[in-house]
Amino acid sequence: MMPKIGVVLSGCGVNDGSEIHESVITMLELDKAGADMVLMAPNIDQLHVINHYTGTEMDEYRNVLVESARIARGDIKDMAEVSSKDVDALIFPGGFGVAKNLCDYAMAGAECSVNPDVVRLAQEVHKDKKPIGVICISPAMMAKILGDETELTIGFDEQ
């Protein structure tokens, strides 16, 4: 039986959602390794919408789950419906959506608050001693979720 790896997305686009390259490469490598993926995102509105061509904010609203479904090709779950028993590990690709949609680190810094479903699932997975991978800006959020008693590392860096 192949491991089930949860991949938490935060929208679609580096400036207001998941970083597409990080997300797709993560998914590609998991697929190549034979893992089953459980793609998920919270069913919430994005903080704002950025025009990725001009870099300017747009006057419209988008939903994080709906936008993340673009990367997942529709095969995605509402994070509220996922628990630690559904995954063997959890990965958070980066992108500014992590710091704007999954938490408010982009505005509040170290005093940020984190989406309750993100906190719940990350703490469940951690409590069950399952691995959690964080990419790009995601470690800042994970440090807030897991607190001071947890050691965050860069993994195995040969350099």
Question: Does the annotation count 136 as an active-site position?
Answer: yes
**Which residue in the block uniquely carries the two structure tokens 């995954």?**
87
Among candidate residues 12, 103, 112, 136, the one labeled active-site is 136
Cα gap 128→144, rounded to integer Å: 18
Q: Tokens standing for 80?
A: 């509220």
Amino acid residing at 55: G
Q: Are 65 and 18 in contact (CB under 8 A)?
A: no
Name the CA dihedral angle for 53, 75, 66, 139, rounded to a multiple of 10 degrees.
-70
Instruction: Give catalytic residue positions.
Output: 136
